[in-house]
Amino acid sequence: MHVVVTGGTGLIGSHLVDRLRARDDEVTVVSRDPTGGDQIGWDPDDPGSLVLPDTTDAVVHLAGAPIVGERWDENRKQAIRSSRVQGTQRVVEAVEAHGDIQHVVSGSAVGYYGDRGEEPLDEHAEPGEDFMAQVTQVWEAEARRLEGHEAVDVDPARIRTGTVLAEESGALPEMLNPFGFVKPFHWGMGGRLGDGQQWFAWIHVEDEVRAILHVLDEGLSGPFNLVAPGVVRNEQFTEALGEALGRPTPFPVPEFALRLMVGEVAEVLTASQRVRSDRLQETGFSFRYPHIRPALADLLGEEDAVPEERDREPEAALA
């Protein structure tokens, strides 16, 4: 299969590209700053700038300006929104122009659901109302322009991804090393965010990539929540992180302090999202890291720290 990956230089994309190549799929990476070889360029703001190679079978669309890591001023919010809306418009145009693409997997996020307390969230749940919920709705709406298209026969899958846990970048290094050399969790000064009761929907990067390949290989369409079955409350995640590091986590960060530190992006960090991935599992996908402690032990280098965790029920893993 020849797979074109936008955002193939990013966290999820680079893991996906490695995995595709390892199984001998052909890969073309789409980047704003291509380095030659099997990378091609595009400008998400420039209609017609994405041209898919003739031999393309599938497109995985993962490009988008980073959500966390910077304060959300108006420019930042505009970049988060427009990079996704316009980037998806370019992908849809390119798929229409090509005319013979078999599969499209389009990025999305559990941010679609907003802050929902204790409510279990499957793919039928209504969208939320906050900034990221609004962004993901328009982002998905652009991808859905391919559904029932009169000229091209491809129904896109929309992957509503939870926080991806990986060693080298993304949420985990941000938490462990939030301000340069300051490492609160390593120093035994970490703690839960807000009251710690919010549900945290996460996925190990290896399962994220395995799930994308599953969606591609099975030719699935529509929305899929990509989150581990063992969704945990923030205080449980914090406890597991402390255990993986062998450090206590006694210092909670109150919500107002978090807002002072990071601004409006705090709403992403404190949103409660009890997301369920039953639909993905019903299509035959099984998670390698369904529970948080083995996932963190794997990522933080302490394999087999709590192997019995794998056998427990989802959501009861840390009870």
Ligand X SMILES: NC(=O)c1ccc[n+]([C@@H]2O[C@H](COP(=O)([O-])OP(=O)(O)OC[C@H]3O[C@@H](n4cnc5c(N)ncnc54)[C@H](OP(=O)(O)O)[C@@H]3O)[C@@H](O)[C@H]2O)c1
Residues that bind ligand X (CB under 6 A): 7, 9-13, 31-33, 44, 62-67, 79, 83, 87, 107, 109, 161, 163-164, 170-171
Tokens of 226: 């990509």
Residue 7 or 230: the one with the smaller Cβ distance to ligand X is 7
* Smallest separation (angstroms) from ligand X to the CB of 76: 10
* Smallest separation (angstroms) from ligand X to the CB of 308: 27
Q: Are 90 and 44 in contact (CB under 8 A)?
A: yes
Residue 53 or 99: the one with the smaller Cβ distance to ligand X is 53
Tokens of 262: 């990071």
Residue 56 or 136: the one with the smaller Cβ distance to ligand X is 136
Angle at 264 between CA 232 and CA 71, to 5 degrees: 105
Give 35's contacts (C-beta < 8 A, 6+ positions apart). none
Residue 87 or 229: the one with the smaller Cβ distance to ligand X is 87
Q: Are 165 and 231 in contact (CB under 8 A)?
A: no
Residue 46 or 313: the one with the smaller Cβ distance to ligand X is 46
Helices 292-299 and 234-245 cross at an angle (nearest 10°) of: 40
* Smallest separation (angstroms) from ligand X to the CB of 17: 11
Tally DSSP H helices, then E strands, for the chain: 10, 13
* Smallest separation (angstroms) from ligand X to the CB of 178: 16
* Smallest separation (angstroms) from ligand X to the CB of 5: 10
Q: Which residue is nearest to ligand X (CB)?
A: 10
* Alpha carbons 275 and 112: distance in angstroms, whole number: 11
Q: What are the φ/ψ torsions at residue 111 (nearest 5 degrees)? A: -55, -20
Residue 107 or 156: the one with the smaller Cβ distance to ligand X is 107
Sheet holding 222-226, edge to edge: 39-41, 26-31, 2-6, 58-61, 103-109, 157-161, 222-226
* Smallest separation (angstroms) from ligand X to the CB of 212: 10
* Alpha carbons 256 and 254: distance in angstroms, whole number: 6
Residue 205 or 306: the one with the smaller Cβ distance to ligand X is 205
Residue 67 or 306: the one with the smaller Cβ distance to ligand X is 67
Closest CA to 271 of 210, 198, 201: 198
* Alpha carbons 73 and 93: distance in angstroms, whole number: 30
* Smallest separation (angstroms) from ligand X to the CB of 43: 9
* Smallest separation (angstroms) from ligand X to the CB of 65: 4
Strands 103-109 and 26-31: unpaired
Q: Are 140 and 108 in contact (CB under 8 A)?
A: yes
Tokens of 23: 């199984």
